[in-house]
Amino acid sequence: MEERRRDFLESLLTTPGPSGYEADSQRVWVDYVSEFADEVRTDDYGNAVATLRGDDTSVALAGHGDEIGFIVRDLTDDGFVRLERIGGSDKTVSRGQHVTVHTADGPVSGVVGQTAIHLREGEEESVPEIAEQHVDVGAEDGEELESLVDRGDPVTFAQTVSELENGRLAARGMDNRVGIWAAAEGLRRAAERDVDATVHAVSTVQEEVGLQGAKMVGFDLDPDAVVAVDVTHATDSPDSPGDRSSGVELGGGPVVSRGSANHPVVVESLRETGADEEIDVQLQATGIRTGTDADAFYTARGGIPAVSVGLPNRYMHTPVEVIDPADLDALADLLAGFAVRATEDAPFSVDV
């Protein structure tokens, strides 16, 4: 991956943006796409759209810019923070972690408390709910804590980006900073290829709490087709349940979903793009729902042809999500290729 592109990815991964608090990370994305887009705009909730102006055919490459996290629910009299979840945060990985409380006056460091193994009884090994866990910021009492932290402040894991063997990367928030990276890069690479269609790159807000940003953008933008770019489960690690195996592997290339929300004509366009441009594409079955912004886009304005395209990701919704940058580069190329052939493949409609 080129140095400039890697720097952009690391900036996204190290800038907190839990659902409802995405402004800082959205600003990183907007600054990057402003270098090559014809127009960049944001709405009242912070959804961001970068556009290359072309002919009447329009497609959108959309990732969600928010991440899971926590929120300060309450402050105790003895100086501890009580938490609630933002999105699908996992209670089994939160205790014993370093966290940052993002306050109006700046970041406050803390740790999620975990009773020492020496003090726990055997019957106490069940994992408490997030609402029963607490953050210790070092405050002496509730009065000091209230001078530092407010109820409603967002909280994220204090996690860095780590490079593993074979160039693979581990970090929190791969879900879905890699998606908005790919959408931005797909737009940039489409611009380099003098794309004919109008192409929108989108970074939505609040996907993790109900696909809310996509509902707003889908209504407002009304493209001819949309590719919702997200992560998907790589089920090639030892802890993946056998009955949930999908055949998706890290390093196997981007993943095109089939079934439910995924429009068959858009699916075929992406598969043909992969074949023509020699990009390895994996397939995934989604018989009921995709669990991505595609589920909101495809019913907007009476129906927008949509598809979910995923990046293989291990250990989703933990602080140590793992991806292969080779998959990510291939995903950006696939999106650019799809945009380039959009005018030829439109209209995206089922022949009945």
Q: Is 64 annotated as a binding residue?
A: yes
Sequence-distant (6+) residues with CB within 8 A of 57 are: 196, 197, 198, 224, 342, 343, 346
Cβ contact 325:177 at 8 Å: no
* Per-domain residue ranges of the chain: 3-67+172-345, 69-157
DSSP bridge pairs for 59: 199, 225
Residues of the chain with pLDDT under 50: none
Q: Is 134 annotated as a binding residue?
A: no
Sign of the dihedral through C-alpha 280, 285, 290, 295? positive
Please list the helix, strand and coil fractions of the chain in percent, rounded to the nearest 5, in that order: 30, 25, 40
Dihedral through CA 217, CA 222, CA 227, CA 231, nearest 10? 10
- Element (DSSP H or E) covering residue 41: strand 39-42
Residues 285-340 pLDDT 10s: 999 999 999 999 999 999 999 999 999 999 999 999 999 999 999 999 999 999 99
Cβ contact 5:185 at 8 Å: yes
What is the number of other CB atoms lying within 10 angstroms of the CB of residue 82?
A: 16
Q: What is the DSSP letter of 123?
A: G
pLDDT score, position 124: 64
Tell me if the domain spanning 69-157 has CATH number 1.10.645.10. no
> How far is the C-alpha of 277 from the C-alpha of 192, rounded, in Å?
16
Residue length, the chain? 352
Cβ contact 142:96 at 8 Å: no
Tell me which of 22, 185, 207, 321 is the catalytic residue: 207
Q: Is 233 annotated as a binding residue?
A: no
Q: Is 141 annotated as a binding residue?
A: no
pTM of the model: 0.96
22 is annotated as an active-site residue: no
> How far is the C-alpha of 117 from the C-alpha of 122, rounded, in Å?
10
> How far is the C-alpha of 173 from the C-alpha of 10, rounded, in Å?
11
Query: Where does 3-67+172-345 sit in CATH, by number?
Result: 3.40.630.10
Q: Is 230 annotated as a binding residue?
A: yes
Span between the terminal Cα atoms of the chain, in Å: 43
Cα angle for residues 89, 306, 178 (degrees, 5° grid): 45
Cβ contact 134:127 at 8 Å: no
